[in-house]
Structure 1
Amino acid sequence: MTSPLFQPTRRQLLTVAGAVGLTLTVPRAVLAAADKKLRIGYQKSSTLITIVKAQGTLQKQLADQGITVSWHEFTNGQPLLEALNVGAIDLSADVADTVPLFAQAAGAALTYYARETPAPSAQAIIVKEDSPIRSVADLKGRKVGFARAAGAHFLVIAALEQAGVPLADIQQAYLTPADGRAAFGNGSIDAWAIWDPFYAATQQHERVRVLIDGRDGLADYARYYLASTPYAENNPKVVNQVFDALRTAGLWAKQNPDDAASLLAPVWGLDKTIIVAANKRRSYDVRSVSLENLDRQQQIADVFLVNKLLPRRIVTRDATIWQLGT
């Protein structure tokens, strides 16, 4: 049984394939074993992979081995992992902790190869500064925007549960970050659950108030990197090199926040001050994935199952974890 959140239509699959220059008639095994090519998918919030791409060190290392790298941007984590599942890309940049759960529920052959340690303050539920909403409990009956299946979705559920408000008691508006930004700006939603750098950008341009973020154990907001399992099995050296590049980029970003913001600003089209604010809230601490990490994933999966977002119960410890140095 596949998840409706991870079950692309034929048109969506053609769009994904077309975006990376593939056809759907190419067998997955052929795609995964394609020699001398590495296709990396990412989204705008994929800070470390953006740094790696901009600095060019990984590309040079792999070019010396005769491997070319191509980069493919996606609007959010869901289509990114869909592309990984159908063999349109080989590795994904980071996605919120919620997103891989739907891939696992759909039976996708994906492998966790890295994670960023939690950054719970990097996502929040915000309202306009002059809003009458003063607490999470005040969201009852209100329209709240967030991306479906994103980390922000879990934050909304967890915050409402803590406040004793059933999810059904709010008006849920599923919005991409771009659509959410517009809806929040024109007042068509009462509150918005969003993550950095979109969160920091809104704080810069709007007079907003934070209702709650993920701290105090509410929502960890760890981010995970995934690979196509066939690709990881066939290209272990490359996966290790990408891991090392991400870890190096994370250390550099934290040790050189101004330089990191200067590098990212023209790429993202954002003011440096926005990027500095966003980067302060992200850990950028890249580590291997452990079974203990997947226990927290299990808690999220169980919450999503209760709220009828996952189609079936999954056992997160059944997921494939990359062993660094393999």
Structure 2
Amino acid sequence: MLNKFSLTQLLGMGFAFVQRFQQPKIRTFSLLFAVGLSLTLAVSACSPSASNNATQETTSPSPAASASGTTVHIGYQKASTILYALKAKGELEKAFAASGSSVTWSEFPAGPPLLEALNAGSIDFGYTGESPPIFAQAGGVPLVYVAYDPWSPKAEAILVPKDSPIKSLAELKGKKIAFAKGSNANYLLVKALEKAGVQYSDIQRVTLTPADARAVFERKKVDAWAIWDPYLAAAEAATGARTLADATGLAPNRGYYLAAKSFVDAKPDALKIVLDQVKEVSNWAKNNPGEVAKFLSPALGIDAPVLEIAEKRREYDVLPLTDEIITKQQEVADTFYKIKLIPKEIKVKEIVWQGKVKNS
């Protein structure tokens, strides 16, 4: 139960910005996201304009089709291609073209603080990887899964230096491994070790942001590094790092579109408009990896050719949550509970939207 986790313990897990969120409404959730600090800082380390606070931008009111008078509040990350592109292209504003509605955009460095904002009622809709919503649900955040993005198991991996003597996952026993605690790469590492018959407690866990992990990896202060794209592609290009294992057959590495329950219940027409437009931009990204790389390069500070490698090994789509997908996400939740990264068991299916996502 949550009350078994003291503030001191959670601070010991590294979540330094708990005191920045003192509202009673979100304190418990802020504490739970102690394990998400590394993920929170990961994107901000590579995004010059990202900060620990959201940057609020409000577009001019524009007409809305069947959601008259609606204001939709969207949270996005620059590293989350689709919502960043949707904002930049202005397509959502065009879709709300019938009455005096508006769209606001709030930028976040990563998934955990984005979902804290959803919990506080600051945003209605956003996108994260598979791990943050699990922590959010365990913390009592009233969110709903509304669609998923297949992403790709090739888009995350466990790396070793190019001259490392390590040739198999079993050889990771006793070794120092860097990863962002509570991230998708954390889940990949757990499953990779499980496959190799190595206990999670049998490795030396070095929990760092991608930027710090890259530094110690290059200096060979750790033996391996579990990381995701585009940081994976950047490390491969710069260091010649060798992939010990990617997530194929181990972890789904999916992304999820999430909404506040109050928004889903009160404004289903607005939600459908948002999802339709997300789908349109997703189709563009799927068919234009080179253009996506050029589009993201200035924001992420990563060369376009490197980003294009990352783009070509990932998938884009906006798909409904099937029983199979829900089951796989439940496996992630159960794994994190097993190793005590979340304080209680959860049921993912209890917060899945029953509406329909546009198929084309």
Residue aligning to 1:289 = 321
Distance in 2 (CA, whole Å) between partners of 1:99 and 1:276 is: 26
Tell me which residue corresponds to 2:147: 114
Q: CA RMSD in A?
A: 2.6
Aligned to 2:239: 206
Matches within 5 A, 1:295-306: 295-306=327-338
**Which residues of 2 match residues 238-317 of structure 1 at below 5 A?**
238-317=270-349
With 291-300 and 179-188 compared, the bigger mean Cα shift is at 179-188
Cα distance in 2 between the residues matched to 1:37 and 1:157: 41
Structure 1 residue 129 displacement after superposition:
0.6
State TM-score, norm by structure 2. Answer: 0.79
1:160-207 Cα deviation digits (max 9, x unpaired): 010111011111122222222233233332211111111111122222
Q: Is the 8 A contact 1:144 1:192 kept in 2?
A: yes
Residue of structure 2 aligned with 1:132, choices 161, 165, 178: 165
Bigger RCO of structures 1 and 2 (CA < 8 A, at least 6 apart): 1
Q: 2:257 aligns with which of 207, 225, 247?
A: 225
Separation of aligned partners in 2, 1:178 and 1:304: 24
Determine the C-alpha separation between the residues in 2 that align with 1:177 and 1:17. Answer: 16
Displacement of 1:112 in angstroms is 0.8
Aligned letter for 2:196? Answer: A
Superposed displacement of residue 282, structure 1: 1.4
Q: Conserved in 2, the CA contact under 8 Å of 1:17 and 1:88? A: no
SS at match of 1:288: coil
Distance 1:13 1:279, change over 3 A: farther
Q: 2:100 aligns to what?
A: 66
1:148 has 2:181 as partner: yes
Cα 1:310/1:255, change in 2 over 3 Å: same
Counting only pairs closer than 5 Å after superposition, residues 186-205 of structure 1 correspond to structure 2 as 186-205=219-238
Displacement of 1:159 in angstroms is 0.2
2:143 and 2:260 in contact (8 A); partners too: yes
Taking the aligned partners of 2:161 and 2:116, their CA distance within structure 1 comes to 34
Task: Classify the secondary structure of the residue corresponding to 2:116.
Answer: helix
1:101 aligns with 2:134: yes
Cα drift, residue 317 of structure 1: 1.6
Q: Provide the C-alpha distance between the structure 1 equivalents of 2:311 and 2:333, rounded to a whole number of angstroms.
A: 27
User: What secondary structure does 2:256 align onto?
Assistant: strand
Equivalent position of 1:82 in the other structure: 116
Q: Which runs of 5+ in 2 are unaligned?
A: 24-29, 31-50, 57-68
Structure 1 letter corresponding to 2:318: V
| Structure 1 pair 17–62 and aligned structure 2 pair: CA distance change class (3 A) | farther
Larger displacement relative to structure 2 (273-282 or 132-141): 132-141
Query: What is the match of residue 27 of structure 1?
Result: none
SS at 2:259 equivalent:
strand
Distance 2:225 2:317 in 1: 27
Instruction: State how far apart, in whole Å, the 1-side matches of 2:357 and 2:170 are.
Output: 48
Letter in 1 for 2:90: G
How many residue pairs get aligned? The number is 310
8 A Cα contact 1:20 1:88, kept in partner = no
State the alpha-carbon separation in 2 of the partners of residues 218 and 18 from structure 1. 34
Classify 1:17/1:132 alpha carbon distance in 2 versus 1 (closer, same or farther; 3 Å). closer
SS of structure 1 residue aligned to 2:96: helix
Residue 161 (str. 1) matches residue 194 (str. 2):
yes
Residues 15-53 of structure 1 show CA distances to partners (whole Å, capped at 9, x for unaligned) of: 9996356xxxxxxxxxxxxx6433322234311112212
Q: Confirm whether residue 43 of structure 1 aligns to residue 52 of structure 2.
A: no
Greater alpha carbon shift after TM alignment, 11-20 vs 260-269: 11-20
The one-letter code of the counterpart of 2:220 is G
Q: Per the alignment, in what secondary structure is the counterpart of residue 9 of structure 1?
A: helix
> Where does residue 64 of structure 2 map in the other structure?
none
- Residue 92 (structure 1) aligned with residue 135 (structure 2): no
The reply to whether residue 19 of structure 1 matches residue 51 of structure 2 is no
Cα deviation for residue 302 of structure 1 reads 1.6
Q: Partner letter of residue 203 of structure 1?
A: E
Q: Which amino acid aligns with 1:67?
A: S
**Post-superposition shift, 1:287?**
0.7
Listed as ranges, the gaps of 5+ residues in structure 1 are: 22-34
